[in-house]
């Protein structure tokens, strides 16, 4: 299974790893996360990212890894773009919990299939929802003489 590596602005990468361990404890064992803090120099970020990438690649017999970054064009993403070869190591951005959980759920798939599933999970997990609270509210006492409740 391809290795998983999350890199993001602090504390997002660690928080995502904790969310992964909460729901997929066994699958998340080999996952690595790197929080990028403001004081880290670009060469230090790259050095740490390279070391973590090597760890996740060693866990896969084919040396494949999926890197998930938070924001395209930001330091974490720019750093790992220099490390990815586009064949054995690929990068997707916009990492969120649904994307990560989908990747963990399908971790046994090929790298390209894993990317397709992760991106679908990430995009399908973003939606506006309607709230149903007004229909579920408890009836409030009113001063209605006929004792009718006028909820809409």
Rounded to whole angstroms, the Cα distance separating 36 from 40 reads: 7
- Kindly state the tokens that stand for 107: 């971790």
Structural domains of the chain sorted by starting position, each given as residue range(s) with its CATH number in brackets: 3-124 (3.40.50.510)
pLDDT at position 107: 92
Please name the residues in contact with 78: beta carbons below 8 A apart, sequence gap of 6 or more: none
pLDDT tens for the chain, 152 residues long, are 899 999 999 999 999 999 999 999 998 899 999 999 999 999 999 999 999 999 999 999 999 999 999 999 999 999 999 999 999 999 999 999 999 999 999 999 999 999 999 999 999 999 998 877 666 556 665 665 665 555 54
Rounded to whole angstroms, the Cα distance separating 75 from 49 reads: 12
Which element (helix H / strand E) includes 36? strand 32-36
* pTM for the full predicted model: 0.84
């Amino acid at each position: 299974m391809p290795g998983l590596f999350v890199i993001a602005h602090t504390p997002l990468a660690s928080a995502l790893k904790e969310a992964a361990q909460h729901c997929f404890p066994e699958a998340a064992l080999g996952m690595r996360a790197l929080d990028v803090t403001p004081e880290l120099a670009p060469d230090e970020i790259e050095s740490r990212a390279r070391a973590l990438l090597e760890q996740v690649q060693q866990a896969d017999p084919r040396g494949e890894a999926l890197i998930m970054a938070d924001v395209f064009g930001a330091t974490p993403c720019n750093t790992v773009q220099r490390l990815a070869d586009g064949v054995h190591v690929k990068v997707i951005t916009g990492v969120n919990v649904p994307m990560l959980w989908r990747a963990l759920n399908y971790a046994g798939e090929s790298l390209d299939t894993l990317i397709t599933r992760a991106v679908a999970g990430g995009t399908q997990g973003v939606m506006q929802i309607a709230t149903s609270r007004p229909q579920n509210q408890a009836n409030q006492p009113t001063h209605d003489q006929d004792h009718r409740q006028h909820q809409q």
